[in-house]
Amino acid sequence: MIARKPLESKVALITGASRGIGLAIAHTLSRLGASVSICARDAQKLESASSELASGGAKVLAVAADVSRAADVESLVRQTQQELGPIEILVNNAGVGYFGPTHEAGESNWDTVLDTNLKSVFLVSKTVVPSMVQRRTGDIINIASLAGKNAFPGGGIYCASKWGLLGLTQCMAEDLRQFGIRVSAICPGSVATEFGPHAGKDPQKMLQPDDVAHAVETLVTQAPRSFISEIVLRPTQKP
C-alpha cells in the first residue's frame, strides 16, 4: 500500500513564493501532499517557480499579485478556491526590507515595508479566515524574523514591521483558536537568500530556506489538539 501523505487533499497558499524561503516552503508542502497556490509580484519569476514545482509533481496554481492591495488579494483567494479548493494552510511569507538610519528614510520606504510585511498579512488573512471559521480548521503561519525581537542599527523600519507582525500574530491566535484555527509565527535569523544585508557573513553557516520550510512542516503536522505558537530559528554556528 502507498503511504498517505500527511497533507494529502489539503490546499496551501504561500505568498512571496517565486524564490527563496517562499519557494522552499511550497516545495515542502507539495512534497507532503498539498496542492499549492503561489503568488508574487514578478510574473516571470513566478512562472519559473511554478514550472519548477510542477516538474517535481506538484499540483500548483501561480497567480501574479501584490498582496498589499486588497483587490489583488481578493482575486488571488478567489482563484485559489475555485481552482484548488478551500485554503487550509496560509503562509504569509511576502516581505521586503529597508536597512538604513530611520531618520534618513523617506515616507515611501516606510509605506513599502509596512504595507508588504504587515498590511499584507492583515489583508490575506482576513480574506482567507471566513472559510476556515466555517470549516473550523486551518493553519496560518506568519514568517516573522529575529528582527521582531532584537534591535540593530539601520533596522528601524524593518524591525517595526516585524515587531508589529508578532503582535498581530499573537492576537490573531487568541481570536481564532476557538474555531480550531492555529496561528503561529516563525522567527528566523539571517537566511542565505538575496534578501537583506549579509555583508561579512559566511553563507555556509547561515540558515537556508529549507530550514525555514522544515519549521513550517513542523507546525502543519502538529497534532490537532495543540499548536506551537512561535518558533525561533537560529543557525548552529554564528555566520
pLDDT band at 199 (very low <50, low <70, confident <90, very high): low
Give the span between the Cα atoms of 20 and 18, in whole angstroms: 7
Residue 198 pLDDT > 70: no
End-to-end CA distance of the chain: 45
What is the H or E stretch that residue 200 is in? none
Q: Point out the catalytic residue in the list 158, 159, 193, 206.
A: 158
Residue 50 pLDDT > 70: yes
Question: The CATH number of the domain where 21 resides is what?
Answer: 3.40.50.720
Q: Structurally, how many domains does the chain consist of?
A: 1
> Per-residue pLDDT averaged across 188-207, rounded?
82
Is 238 within the bounds of a domain? no
Phi–psi pair at 15, nearest 5 degrees:
-90, 155
Is 1 within the bounds of a domain? no
User: DSSP E strands: which ranges in the chain?
Assistant: 11-15, 35-40, 60-64, 89-92, 138-143, 181-188, 230-233
Looking at residue 204, its pLDDT comes to 87
Is 4 within the bounds of a domain? no
Residue 233 pLDDT > 80: yes
Express as a percent the part of the chain with pLDDT over 70.
97
Tell me the pairing of strands 138-143 and 11-15: unpaired
98 among known catalytic residues: no
Q: What distance lies between CA 175 and its chain's CA centroid?
A: 20
Q: From the CB of residue 9, how many other CB atoms can be counted at a distance below 10 Å?
A: 11
Is 133 within the bounds of a domain? yes
pLDDT band at 202 (very low <50, low <70, confident <90, very high): confident
CB 228 within 8 A of CB 219: yes
Is 95 within the bounds of a domain? yes
Residue 158 pLDDT > 80: yes
Q: Which of 198, 199, 104, 207 is nearest to 157 (CA)?
A: 104
State the burial class of residue 75 (Cβ atoms within 10 Å of its Cβ: 0-12, 13-18, 19+). Answer: middle
Give the span between the Cα atoms of 118 and 68, in whole angstroms: 9
pLDDT band at 2 (very low <50, low <70, confident <90, very high): low
Write out pLDDT tens, residues 13-48. Answer: 999 999 999 999 999 999 999 999 999 999 999 999
What domain range includes position 190? 11-233
Residue 161 pLDDT > 80: yes
Question: Using only C-alpha atoms, what is the Rg of the chain?
Answer: 17
Residue 107 pLDDT > 60: yes
pLDDT band at 74 (very low <50, low <70, confident <90, very high): very high
Is 106 within the bounds of a domain? yes
Is 143 within the bounds of a domain? yes
Q: What is the pTM of this model?
A: 0.96
Looking at residue 31, its pLDDT comes to 97
